[in-house]
Structure 1
């Protein structure tokens, strides 16, 4: 499944930008929380030039915005990181599509129509309001010039971020045991090396809980994003440093190293054999889960020549007397 921002639905209808900003923030939140949204929600490279109000396009609205974090996050998405429809446009020999007489060939709706025609699951995300009503499902798109119609395609359409969240959740059944959780993590996080942790008898004896599952996936996602934001030589980008500042420092840090006392007293418990390659690693850095005092131990610091970060342990805290 792919979702495409329907830039044709931005028609200058947001006299007050707050409603438009609320939708943007919801989409950004889903991108941050759901890897599938980050990979599969696509926009045209011209989306930032779409008209929000009578006076402003998206880029102009953000340029003067007081919330610098919102400005940076949206422009990084829509100006730089994507993913963009233009970079992987679906091939179509007779490439002309209309919606209610409007040429939408090069828009997100046009891309969704091309893929719908090819039986590739696709949905548009539209913005409500404006002269043309895009807040309907499905959107009936005409293929071909008006004088030579080639077909009509019913494109699935949503306009509420919660509907997007619901569709994403339905893509993959939630893991119901430790083995399924780790299988899910291996699929979702390509920058991590996750060995057969489910074979650890310590974890096997622990009852599975959905709350721990969700927390584990949150922690692994952060680690995956950190590794993915380093360059090929292991140099940290600005995004990587922000992840360190936000999640590895301060009283509420999600990731910490063991105290010097625990490093000494429990060293043997925190030395792990590598599942990928040879040797051992003293992995005292861990992600913290307060419920039932679970921990995720991982390779840290990550050497510059390492392209992936290894996860060594999932289970109850190792430093208990």
Structure 2
């Protein structure tokens, strides 16, 4: 599928570079995720010159970004693209509408035109009430004949993750699981050999699905912090639902296990950094464990250090 940025979803009344950055960083995170999978978010070549209601351009605000952020955004919008209008399919004279708003010349019209020709196109939208649905309906009015097209609409990195994972071929091996996990879950870090232990046991499709579900929760909770370093509401809910109680997916090892299996549960994070990691996620059939660094904190990386057979199994 080709993903193009829905420029109509950007607010018209951006009043500062800080406000624009908060908007842009959402799509930059999504773009970073997709680039890992060699997928691009296409933009309009002239989008960088878009003017807000105060007559300021996107370019003028970007120039006030911090250097690293400025370079990344400028490279995307003015150099690397790719730019969907370089090979634009629909004509600016074609009549495309979203509800009663004319959208000819925009990404929405281009996506509709491409879908009409049998191509798989979706759009990425920023948070905007007009573009919050899972699908956006665009109508092409042509010679008194209205044709409607439903365009897949992605509004977060997470929605793209779900699409990428669901579109992947079914996991058929532990090696395939490792490749997918490393490319999809970008908020957590995997130590170099954390998956090698899986090769000691036969492949189980149901277990591979359970491992991916638990890694997804760890990846998500690592992104759920507020400016004070505490969990957001979503982070607290994930913690309550999956880290607390007898049926929690993740738990600490017992004092006895930590005493008897201290060496086995000590893992090399990097050179001269070995840590006891008794916290783990549980897969029941077979008994597989996912050990990770704990506590989960805003400023510290969350490392996955071991995925394999239950260490404390006798």
Normalised by the length of structure 1, the TM-score is 0.54
Residues in 2 aligned to 1:240 and 1:293: alpha-carbon distance in whole angstroms: 27
Whether 1:187 and 2:183 are equivalent positions in the alignment is: yes
Output one character per residue of 1:178-230: Cα deviation in whole Å (capped at 9) or x when no partner. 12111111111110101334662x32121111111100110011011100111
Whether 1:288 and 2:282 are equivalent positions in the alignment is: yes
Q: How does 1:57-68 map to 2 (within 5 A)?
A: none
Q: Do the aligned partners of 1:226 and 1:243 also contact (CA within 8 Å) in 2? A: yes
Shift of 1:102: 6.1
Unaligned runs of 5+ in 1: 5-34, 37-89, 125-137, 159-165
Residues in 2 aligned to 1:183 and 1:153: alpha-carbon distance in whole angstroms: 41
Match of 1:98 among 96, 101, 126: 96
Partner of residue 256, structure 1: 251
Partner of residue 302, structure 2: 309
Residues in 2 aligned to 1:169 and 1:199: alpha-carbon distance in whole angstroms: 19
Residues in 2 aligned to 1:171 and 1:269: alpha-carbon distance in whole angstroms: 37
Shift of 1:139: 7.5
Output one character per residue of 1:250-283: Cα deviation in whole Å (capped at 9) or x when no partner. 12100000011111111110000004x6401111
Unaligned runs of 5+ in 2: 6-32, 35-83, 124-136, 153-161
Query: Considering only aligned residues, what root-mean-square deviation do their CA atoms show, in Å?
Result: 4.3
Partner of residue 298, structure 1: 292
Residues in 2 aligned to 1:264 and 1:97: alpha-carbon distance in whole angstroms: 71
Partner of residue 17, structure 1: none
Shift of 1:170: 5.9
Residues in 1 aligned to 2:298 and 2:139: alpha-carbon distance in whole angstroms: 51
Q: How does 1:13-162 map to 2 (within 5 A)?
A: 94=92, 97-98=95-96, 103-105=100-102, 111-117=107-113, 121-122=120-121, 141-142=140-141, 155=149
Relative to 1, partners in 2 of residues 1:102 and 1:190: Cα closer, same or farther, differing over 3 Å? closer
Partner of residue 175, structure 1: 171
Shift of 1:244: 0.6
Residues in 2 aligned to 1:111 and 1:95: alpha-carbon distance in whole angstroms: 15
Q: Do the aligned partners of 1:96 and 1:103 also contact (CA within 8 Å) in 2? A: no
Whether 1:269 and 2:264 are equivalent positions in the alignment is: yes
Q: Do the aligned partners of 2:279 and 2:294 also contact (CA within 8 Å) in 1? A: yes
Q: How does 1:209-228 map to 2 (within 5 A)?
A: 209-228=204-223
Whether 1:237 and 2:232 are equivalent positions in the alignment is: yes
Normalised by the length of structure 2, the TM-score is 0.55
Q: Matched residue of 1:313: which SS? A: strand
Relative to 1, partners in 2 of residues 1:194 and 1:261: Cα closer, same or farther, differing over 3 Å? same
